[in-house]
Amino acid sequence: MQTAERTLKDHSRDLTISRGPVDVPFLMLTLLLLGVGVVMVLSASYASAYYDLSKETGGNATYYFTRQLVFALVGVAVMLAASRVPLKLYSRFSLWVLGAAVVLLAAVLVIGSAGGGGTRWILVGGISIQPSEIAKIGVILSFATLICRYGNLMGTFKYGVAPFAAILGVIVVLLFLEPHLSASIIIILVGAVMLFIGGARLFWFIGGLAGVGGLFLVAITVLQYSSERISAWLDPFGDPSDTGYQIVQSLYAIGSGGLFGLGLGQSRQKYLYLPEEHNDFIFSIISEELGFVGAGLILLIFALLVVRGYWIAMHSRDRYSFLVCTGITSLLALQVILNVAVCTNLVPCTGISLPFFSYGGSALLVQLGEAGIILSVSRDIPVTRAVKKRRPESVKSKQTLSEPS
Amino acid sequence: MPDKRQKLNFPDTPNAMMLRRALFLLIVCGIVAFLVLGLRLFKLQVLDHGFYETAAIENQIRKTTVTAARGTIYDTNMKILAMSASVDNIYISPAEIKLYEEDATLIAQGLSEILGVDYETILARAADTESWYQTIARKVEPEVSDQVRAFKNTHDLKGIKLEEDSKRYYPYGSLAAQVIGFVGTENAGLYGIEHYDDDILSGVNGRIVRAKNAAGTDMLFTSFEDYYDAEDGQDIVLSIDSTIQYYMEKHLEQAVRDYDVQNGAAAIAMDVTTGEILAMVSLGSFDLNDYQMVAPEIQALIDAEQDEEKRAELLSEAQGKQWRNKAINDTYEPGSTFKILTLSMALNEGSVSLNDSFYCGGSVPVEGRDPVKCWKSPPGHGAQTLTQALQHSCNVAFVDIGMRVGAEKFYDYCEAFGFFDAAVDPDDQLTGKTGIDLGGEAGSLWWPANKFENPNNKTQLAAASFGQTFTITPLQLITAVSACTNGGYLMKPYIVREVRNSDGSVYARTEPTVVRQVISEETSRTVRAMLEQVVGDKNEGTGKNAYVAGYRIGGKTGTSTNTVLEAQTGEKEYIVSFVGVAPIDDPKIAVLVLLDCPGSTGVYISGGQMGAPTVGKMFADILPYMGKEPQYTEQELQTVDKTVPELTGMTAAEAGAKAESSGLTFRVIGTSAAVTAQIPAANSVVAAGSQVILYCGAEPSAALETVPDLTDLSYSVARQQLGAYALYIRASGPLTDPAAVRVTGQNIAAGTAAAHGTVIEVTVADKSDLGRY
């Protein structure tokens, strides 16, 4: 027992001292997406910044771009810093992060600033942050910690479901009060993913799915704005000037892009037709300018990044790293998938930003920080591990390797 | 069972189930989901690309129309009858007023001041903030729109917009209104040449297609802009001579007033040899620059109506009536003017000769109907030559002539004269048109062949011989009469002489078209000689009131009843007409005048009393204008109106001598040696023998005289009566025998106050031998 503890301590010391290099493919894919994303913010936001619809740019066409660029550079630094922080440390502070997120979520209801249909932002030192973003990573980190702690007890309701459901319940209630539907969806999904890989029994998911479905049905029938979204989703051209406006304009942008697009910077829909063109609907502008080839390529890069994220997770050194890495990768994947699905009207319209692309400094920082955590995980993968191919073996060898020699 | 503490610490690795589930996530979130998204993109961007591209472009562009300059309409002497000028439409964009936070009340205030549009109305339009386009004023003249532009710029108002448009101007107002026609608010021709040749005149509008942002302003850095040049319309040169048109309108309007004509009037002047329309008049007319407006007396009638619906109905009825071109849009029974054609075919067929004698006992029996009565019945015209039969316009003789021609030949000639087109089925009603290049030409209505040629019923043939029971347009009649007098050639009438490109080059020229030769040159010559006898013979000619001293004029009167109306209601409505050709020895111009339903004014209702003098007055103006010098006889030199010479400044004796040598008399007032003033003014035209007053030092009286009623006085008596008031008289038109012709109308009404020296223009007519001919 003591040996085991010692081993862990020694092990973590080892890690801090002699960790491997970051995973180059993941880093490169991230930087590639970030670079393209910043450029696309320039292109997409040009018109609205020039016309200054939000009354904050002062007509400076590169206003959003400059800010996004600064945040991207800071974000890269954050990412690299995060990649140097050992997972043990994340684990240690994971519940604090969650606690802070809950406090902030409660605070935002009191001191938050409104925007986009809800009270979602807190201004801290000139930077507005979304507590929901912190809640997402908080859920991942804390769930991973709890899952590790409960171990085989995850199969029980008492350990494997109840505490997690309670945490999610608190967060979702707070988010509903803002209200912030899209963040609720993401957090519930991410929480579900964590429980799924954490070993919760599958029938809880079936039950949970039914419960959540019922909940949404109630929400939709109760909340007028949601049912409007549903009808706009089913028939956007039914009311193209009002409820269907945003999605119709998005479809115009995507559809008119064609195979090769109108060319970088040549979007027409960005000229005040498509709202949120540099935020939630930036992918529509990308599709318009770069066409099916360009947009498809970006989707492919995202897919590669996601696959690489899971690959890192599955090769990660320990269970905690595995859980965190899978959680973050899934969070990234869910945001991308849902964002693109909204832009292409596969799912009803809801405000989910596209990671690395959508304008928004604090979100970008958080996303890059999350990528940094994955990179941190990747650093613990011994070089030799890369050639190991089968899971059962890798599990074994992991155990072998973790033994003190 | 592992130790619980160890469990709470970090388990070293994920177990197999966790990895399996992670792999599942990898496949679902990393591959399957992205494949679905890729497929969705493929559908939107590749498969449905066309649809979205079209929709997006519709969404993004704003089209601006560049109005093509509409062609000008000229008369034959290149006087402008219709032209377009640039104007502006003023509109506001409430959406932009809202977007740029502009002051709607300021805009409403400014625009209402400049444009005279109601302030509240503008404000109400500005309140529709969803709208990008709310019209405030249309076709605003440049001076006014410049003020709007200045107001817009001063206050930097993006919500006020100006849009170029064009407006049609008609410099002559009502001149040839129904012929020229007008354009509607969308610059599309609605009536007349403007409508008929709309394609030629309108050109092709250009377009500017510009990419705009959602706020409606130009996109940044986007060269997405297409120009489609406007192709200006072509110009049209009409054969209408605005001077001839003016003379005809003037005299026709006078006739309508003098004879209280109820249903409007029409007149046509045609170039006899080419079929060109030199003038075409339809009354009541209207001002092309304000084509909605009806004559004030009609408007008064409409205003008197209480019911609003009824008012609108009356207005649109009145407008429809004034816009009609009676010369081609309506048909009538021509009556005796048609005898020219009966005569022509009979002569051409050899059915009659100049030496034949025709007896008129007042009526003639006709198979299948009651005997046809002559207008002079009893006692009838007695024995008469062919020429006399025409001079007398004798119905009995012409029924005889028609019978001699025979129904079938008569029918063939009528077809040859263009009154109808032959039909395959002999039982069909027949109709025909001249094919003039003007819209809305009405078709004639003729008896089916089987009915007309029925050997047991000559009713139709008998009536047709003197121009009744069928209907034709006035244009058809004058075209056929032209054929009878120009050597026999039926011409296709036309009114567009040339189409010119906007640079002035000739694009197309209308050449005279001979449809066919109907009668021989020789027959035509005979017909001309006989027609001259109708007008020129002061004793026997029923058309003598069309005579113009110094000119050789041929013609024929017509007085017809509307037989359909008469059969239906028993009311007798007359259409009186006269067709004249001059100079009859070398025909150049034919003039037809038609007065529909003259009222009771004391003037005997007939073509001879109303139509003939009107045509005569027209010829009196037109023939000198066309450069035809009058050739007076000795007697005519005595009786024609004289021009008063300049006498002021001469000695009284010199002046008196000059006045007398000019065919005038004189008296002197005052004692000075020199003439200091004269009445009437130099270059006035007055009746021969009028007394000029020469003031030698004395001041002419400024007193006004009341114009007396001259009706029914002979011309010379009228002259003497007026002389007593120091007023003067002149005859506009035919003046055969000053002692015999009677005044039938005067241009200054009785009871009007007039200054000394005023010349009153009177219509005169020989009132002997009255009858419906």
- How do B554-561 and B642-643 pair as beta strands? unpaired
Instruction: Check whether A112 has a pLDDT greater than 60.
Output: yes
Question: Higher pLDDT residue, B178 or B363?
Answer: B178
The two tokens of residue B434 are 């001249």
CA distances from A278 to A42, A295, B216 (A): 8, 15, 21
Q: What is the pLDDT of residues B430-463, one digit of tens each?
A: 899 999 999 889 999 998 888 888 888 888 899 9
Task: Among B12, B29, B57, select the one facing A319 at the smallest CB separation.
Answer: B12
Q: Which residues of A touch B221 (CB under 8 A)?
A: 265
Of B203-212, B330-339, B625-634, B681-690, which one has max mean pLDDT? B330-339
pLDDT of residue B282: 94
Q: Which residues of B touch A291 (CB under 8 A)?
A: 45
The structure tokens 């002692």 sit at B739
**Type of residue found at A207:** G
Given pLDDT bands bounded at 50, 70 and 90, which one contains residue B98?
Answer: confident
Q: Average the pLDDT over B739-745 and give the result.
A: 83
- Identify the CA nearest to B432 among candidates B484, A333, B422, B440: B422
Instruction: Inform me whether the C-beta atom of residue A30 falls under 8 Å from chain B C-beta atoms.
Output: no
CA atoms within 13 A of residue A96's CA, in its CB half-sphere: 5
Instruction: Check whether B280 has a pLDDT greater than 90.
Output: yes
How far, in Å, CA of B104 to CA of B94, rounded? 8
pLDDT of residue B58: 78
Q: Is the dihedral of CA B710, B715, B720, B722 positive or negative?
A: positive
- Identify the CA nearest to B334 among candidates B216, B447, B464: B464
Given pLDDT bands bounded at 50, 70 and 90, which one contains residue A307?
Answer: very high
How far, in Å, CA of B567 to CA of A137, rounded? 103
Mean of all residue pLDDT scores within chain A: 82
Q: What is the pLDDT of residues B541-570, one digit of tens each?
A: 899 899 988 899 999 999 988 777 777 887
How far, in Å, CA of B589 to CA of B67, rounded? 40
How far, in Å, CA of B705 to CA of A236, rounded? 86
**Type of residue found at A30:** T
Instruction: Check whether A385 has a pLDDT greater than 70.
Output: no
Q: Which residues of A touch B57 (CB under 8 A)?
A: 256
Question: Higher pLDDT residue, A203 or B61?
Answer: A203
CA distances from B85 to A155, A393, B67, B164, B368 (A): 89, 92, 11, 10, 63
At the topology level, CATH places domain B634-765 in Trypsin Inhibitor V; Chain A (3.30.10)
The structure tokens 């259409």 sit at B575
Q: Which residues of A touch B9 (CB under 8 A)?
A: 4-5, 8, 148-149
pLDDT of residue B483: 96
Length of chain A: 405
Strands of the B206-211 sheet, one edge to the other? B61-66, B206-211, B225-228
- How do B514-517 and B489-491 pair as beta strands? antiparallel
pLDDT of residue A268: 79
| CATH architecture of residue range(s) B64-238 | Alpha-Beta Complex (3.90)
A45, A145, A337: best mutation site toward chain B, by most B Cβ within 10 Å? A337
Instruction: Check whether B142 has a pLDDT greater than 70.
Output: yes
Cite the DSSP H helix spans in A162-279. Answer: 162-177, 181-198, 202-222, 224-234, 245-257
Judged by CB atoms within 8 Å, which residues 128-157 of A form the interface with B? Answer: 148-153
Q: What is the pLDDT of residues A241-261, one digit of tens each?
A: 777 888 888 898 899 888 998
Q: What is the pLDDT of residues B227-270, one digit of tens each?
A: 778 888 999 999 999 999 999 999 999 999 989 999 999 999 99
Given pLDDT bands bounded at 50, 70 and 90, which one contains residue A386?
Answer: very low
CA distances from B72 to B83, B201, B234, B457, B544 (A): 5, 7, 7, 54, 42
Instruction: Check whether A13 has a pLDDT greater than 50.
Output: no
Task: Among B13, B25, B219, select the one facing A310 at the smallest CB separation.
Answer: B25
Task: Among B12, B45, B211, select the one facing A287 at the smallest CB separation.
Answer: B45
Given pLDDT bands bounded at 50, 70 and 90, which one contains residue A61?
Answer: confident
- Identify the CA nearest to B462 among candidates B382, B370, B375, B527: B370
Question: Higher pLDDT residue, B173 or B66?
Answer: B173
Task: Among B7, B213, B224, select the one facing A151 at the smallest CB separation.
Answer: B7
Instruction: Check whether A312 has a pLDDT greater than 60.
Output: yes
pLDDT of residue B568: 82
Write the class of the CATH domain B335-625: alpha beta
How far, in Å, CA of B559 to CA of B535, rounded? 16
CA distances from B594 to A232, B320, B553 (A): 71, 20, 18
How far A306 CA lies from chain B's nearest CA (Å)?
5
B12–A399 CB contact, under 8 Å = yes
Task: Among B9, B45, B52, select the one facing A259 at the smallest CB separation.
Answer: B45
Q: Average the pLDDT over A201-223 and give the result.
A: 77
B59–A196 CB contact, under 8 Å = no
% pLDDT > 70, chain A: 85
Q: Which residues of B touch A287 (CB under 8 A)?
A: 41, 44-45
Given pLDDT bands bounded at 50, 70 and 90, which one contains residue A225?
Answer: low
Q: Which residues of B touch A5 (CB under 8 A)?
A: 9
pLDDT of residue A7: 44
Instruction: Check whether B53 has a pLDDT greater than 80.
Output: yes
Ranges of each domain in chain B? 64-238, 335-625, 634-765
pLDDT of residue B500: 94
DSSP three-state, residue B120:
helix
How far A273 CA lies from chain B's nearest CA (Å)?
5
pLDDT of residue B219: 59
Residue A394, number of CB atoms within 10 A of its CB: 18
How far, in Å, CA of B456 to CA of B367, rounded? 7
Instruction: Check whether A393 has a pLDDT greater than 80.
Output: no
The lowest-confidence range among A81-85, A286-290, B83-87, B569-573 is: B569-573
How far, in Å, CA of A392 to CA of B249, rounded? 113
How far, in Å, CA of B676 to CA of B697, rounded? 6
Q: Do residues B766 and B545 lie in contact, with contact meaning Cβ atoms separated by under 8 Å?
A: yes
Q: Which residues of A touch B37 (CB under 8 A)?
A: 299, 337, 340-341, 344, 346
Q: What is the dihedral of CA B102, B104, B107, B112, to 10 degrees?
A: 180
pLDDT of residue A216: 72
Instruction: Check whether B492 has a pLDDT greater than 90.
Output: yes
Question: Higher pLDDT residue, B410 or A362?
Answer: B410
Strands of the B665-670 sheet, one edge to the other? B665-670, B691-696, B677-679
Instruction: Check whether A404 has a pLDDT greater than 60.
Output: no
The structure tokens 């007085």 sit at B559
Q: Which residues of B touch A1 (CB under 8 A)?
A: 3, 5-6
Given pLDDT bands bounded at 50, 70 and 90, which one contains residue B485?
Answer: very high
- Identify the CA nearest to B232 among candidates B79, B437, B83: B83
How far A32 CA lies from chain B's nearest CA (Å)?
18
Of A9-18, B28-37, B116-125, which one has max mean pLDDT? B28-37
Interface A-B, measured as beta-carbon pairs within 8 A, has a size of: 211
A255–B8 CB contact, under 8 Å = no
A314–B19 CB contact, under 8 Å = yes
pLDDT of residue A403: 40
Q: How many H-runs (helices) and E-runs (strands) does chain B carry?
A: 28, 31
How far, in Å, CA of A200 to CA of A124, rounded? 38
Helix B474-485 / helix B521-536 crossing angle, nearest 10 deg? 110
DSSP three-state, residue A73:
helix
pLDDT of residue B733: 60
Who's near B324: CB < 8 A, 6+ residues apart? Answer: B178, B282, B330, B440
The two tokens of residue B439 are 């819209």
How far, in Å, CA of A376 to CA of A372, rounded? 6
Given pLDDT bands bounded at 50, 70 and 90, which one contains residue A108?
Answer: confident
Q: Do residues B194 and B166 lie in contact, with contact meaning Cβ atoms separated by under 8 Å?
A: no
Q: Is the dihedral of CA B365, B366, B367, B370 positive or negative?
A: negative
How far B119 CA lies from chain A's nearest CA (Å)?
30
Given pLDDT bands bounded at 50, 70 and 90, which one contains residue A218?
Answer: confident
Which H or E element spans position A66? Answer: helix A63-84
Mean of all residue pLDDT scores within chain B: 88
The answer for A143, left when phi > 0, alpha when psi is -120 to 50, beta otherwise, is alpha
- Identify the CA nearest to B532 among candidates B506, B508, B510, B555: B555
Judged by CB atoms within 8 Å, which residues 279-338 of A form the interface with B? Answer: 287, 291-292, 295-296, 299-300, 302-303, 306-307, 309-311, 313-314, 316-320, 322-323, 326, 329-330, 333-334, 337
Q: Is the dihedral of CA B327, B333, B336, B338 positive or negative?
A: positive
pLDDT of residue B215: 63
A46, A91, A272, A400: best mutation site toward chain B, by most B Cβ within 10 Å? A272
Q: What is the pLDDT of residues B158-199, one digit of tens each?
A: 888 888 888 899 999 999 999 999 998 778 899 999 999 999
How far B26 CA lies from chain A's nearest CA (Å)?
6
ipTM higher than the 0.90 cut: no
Supply the pTM of this predicted model: 0.66
Instruction: Check whether B3 has a pLDDT greater than 60.
Output: no
Who's near B306: CB < 8 A, 6+ residues apart? Answer: none
Given pLDDT bands bounded at 50, 70 and 90, which one contains residue A383?
Answer: low
Q: Average the pLDDT over B153-161 and give the result.
A: 87
pLDDT of residue B93: 86
**Type of residue found at A32:** L
Q: Is the N-terminal amide bond of B379 cis, ω within 30° of 0? A: yes
For residue A122, the cross-strand partners are: A129
Q: Average the pLDDT over B313-340 and give the result.
A: 92
